[in-house]
Amino acid sequence: MPPLELRIPLPPWVDATVAWDRPLRADADRMRLAIALSRENVARGTGGPFGAAVFDDASGLPVAVGVNLVERLSNAVLHAEVVALMLAQAALGRFTLGGDDSPPHTLVTSCDPCAMCLGAALWSGVRRLVCGAGRADAMGIGFDEGPVFAESYRYLAERGVAVVHGVLRDEAAGVLADYHRAGRTIYNG
Amino acid sequence: MPPLELRIPLPPWVDATVAWDRPLRADADRMRLAIALSRENVARGTGGPFGAAVFDDASGLPVAVGVNLVERLSNAVLHAEVVALMLAQAALGRFTLGGDDSPPHTLVTSCDPCAMCLGAALWSGVRRLVCGAGRADAMGIGFDEGPVFAESYRYLAERGVAVVHGVLRDEAAGVLADYHRAGRTIYNG
């Protein structure tokens, strides 16, 4: 019989990597957390070189974090952004992180989102999307990013999602370069 | 403490709705299953009017199915296509449904995929994507479909994913129209 239920656990090391009670307000400080998650995910052997976090912009606190779990959980949907967004919605018990009765939320990701994650960010209700490494950095080592175009970002902007690219780009791209040099799996290449 | 694990169960009625040992080879026959799932998801009150299924094109058998679980599980990522793809990969224990050592797989969905699901389909390794209702049918009742353009489909075609639109479109769109007439939740409108 096919599986009728999925379990998606974060790797055990993740919890201790995040200071859940420490507000982070600057994009660069938040990006350091996303990059640390991406680097640690490779170092611990639990997945690809991508990390993400969702922040409550009122409190500055991280609501949830994600790392790439594609290989670990045999699930091509589990990019870092998707994991962080799903866990953030679970944390709040609601399918949107937006709405008039909610503080605004920001998704911070160590790399420009692929087509799937761009769509997931739009549906998530976050008001801002902050990116580290660029699409070219990911494509340059063989990861595909999918059909994302300039008009894709315009579509988000028209719906009230602000996007910031290139925050600590060199540091974020460095994790990708290290992963590539180590000869690790490049899926969907 | 934020949740560190997700559980994603299908609604209990789904299993009995699928004849797991019955091969379906024609697109229309497969679409009838996707539409039945979309209709039943509304009738049972377990979610939005969308259904999907992944088929093994060698055996013709359904590998996994999905229904929209956004409201039920407070998770904006859980569109029918994403649920079906994640469960199919869990069924096979691999993050791709493609590759030289795998039979080809097809994703059948009761409605043209949104931007997120189009990306998920690309990463899933399916070789074909078969759609029922059109983007205009979904947008027409207030669902957003996100940044999907003609060049998005070209991007998939160039990577070996064939796409068929409009299979039993009227029947599939009818489920959307019924949902709208009943005044049910249109999220991300």
C-alpha A115/C-alpha A152 separation (Å) is 9
pLDDT of residue B2: 76
Measured CA to CA in angstroms, residue A113 lies from A13, A116, B169 at distances of 24, 8, 32
CA trace torsion A128, A138, B112, B8 (10° rounding)? -70
CA distance A56 to A108: 11
Q: What's the average model confidence in pLDDT over A141-146?
A: 95
- Distance between CA atoms of A124 and A111, rounded to whole angstroms? 18
| 3 state SS of A118 | helix
> Domain A23-179 class?
alpha beta
The answer to whether B147 contacts A122, with C-beta atoms less than 8 Å apart, is yes
Average of per-residue pLDDT across B115-130: 98
pLDDT recorded at residue A2: 76
Domains of chain A, residue spans: 23-179
Average pLDDT for A15-32: 97
Q: What is the pLDDT of residue A1?
A: 67
Q: Determine contact, residues A102/A28, Cβ cutoff 8 Å.
A: no
pLDDT tens for each residue of A85-106: 999 999 999 999 998 899 999 9
Mutate to test the interface with A, among B87, B89, B124 (most CBs of A within 10 A): B89
Residues A134-162, mean pLDDT to the nearest whole number: 97
Are B20 and B156 spatial neighbours (Cβ–Cβ below 8 Å)? no
Q: How far apart are CA B104 and CA B85, in angstroms?
A: 14
Q: Where are the beta strands (DSSP E) in chain A?
A: 5-9, 51-56, 62-67, 105-111, 128-133, 162-164
Strands (E), A34-122: 51-56, 62-67, 105-111
Q: Please tell me the predicted confidence (pLDDT) of residue A188.
A: 64
Q: Please give the residue of chain A at the shortest CA–CA distance from B155.
A: A147
Q: What is the ipTM of this complex?
A: 0.97
Strand partners for B56:
B105
On the question of pLDDT at B183 being above 90, the answer is no
> Between chains, do B63 and A2 touch, taking CB under 8 Å as contact?
yes
Give helix B80-92 / helix B27-43 axis angle, nearest 10°: 110
CA dist., res. B103 & res. B57, Å (int): 7
What pLDDT does residue B187 have? 74
Q: How far is A91 from chain B (nearest CA, A)?
A: 6
* Cβ burial, residue A17 (10 Å; 0-12/13-18/19+): middle
The shortest CB-CB distance from A77 to any of B7, B76, B85 is to: B85
CB A64 within 8 A of CB B73: no
pLDDT at residue B189 greater than cutoff 80:
no
Confidence at residue A30, expressed as pLDDT on a 0 to 100 scale: 98
A134: pLDDT strictly greater than 70: yes
Give the Cα separation of A50 and A137 in Å (integer): 12
Does the annotation count A81 as an active-site position?
A: yes
In total, chain B counts a number of residues equal to 189
pLDDT tens readout for residues A30-82: 999 999 999 999 999 999 999 999 999 999 999 999 999 999 999 999 999 99
pLDDT tens sequence across B137-157: 999 999 999 999 999 999 999
pLDDT band at B185 (very low <50, low <70, confident <90, very high): confident
User: What is the number of CB-based contacts under 8 A between chain A and chain B?
Assistant: 197
Q: Which residue has the higher pLDDT, B174 or B3?
A: B174
Instruction: Please report the pLDDT score of residue B184 as a whole number.
Output: 86
- Report the half-sphere exposure of B148 (CA within 13 A, side-chain side): 20
Structure tokens at A31: 């990006």
pLDDT at position A189 over 80:
no
Say if B125 is an interface residue toward chain A (CB within 8 Å). yes
Q: Which tens digit of pLDDT belongs to each residue from A167-182?
A: 999 999 999 999 999 8
Q: B170 and chain A: CB distance < 8 Å anywhere?
A: no
Residue range B75-89: mean pLDDT, rounded: 98
In chain B, at which residue ranges do the beta strands (DSSP E only) sit? 5-9, 51-56, 62-67, 105-111, 128-133, 162-164
CA A51, CA A30: separation in Å to the nearest integer? 11
Average pLDDT taken over every residue of chain B: 96
The answer to whether the CB atoms of B87 and A144 lie below 8 A apart is: no
Tell whether the torsion through CA atoms of A124, A130, A133 and A136 is positive or negative. Answer: positive
Contact A52, A83 (CB under 8 A): yes
Per-residue model confidence (pLDDT) at position A120: 98
Other beta carbons less than 10 A from residue B58's beta carbon: 11
CATH class of B22-178: alpha beta
Question: Which of B71, B85, B105, B123 would best serve as a mutation to test chain A binding (most A beta carbons within 10 A)?
Answer: B123
Partner residue facing B5 (CB), from A3, A10, A151: A10
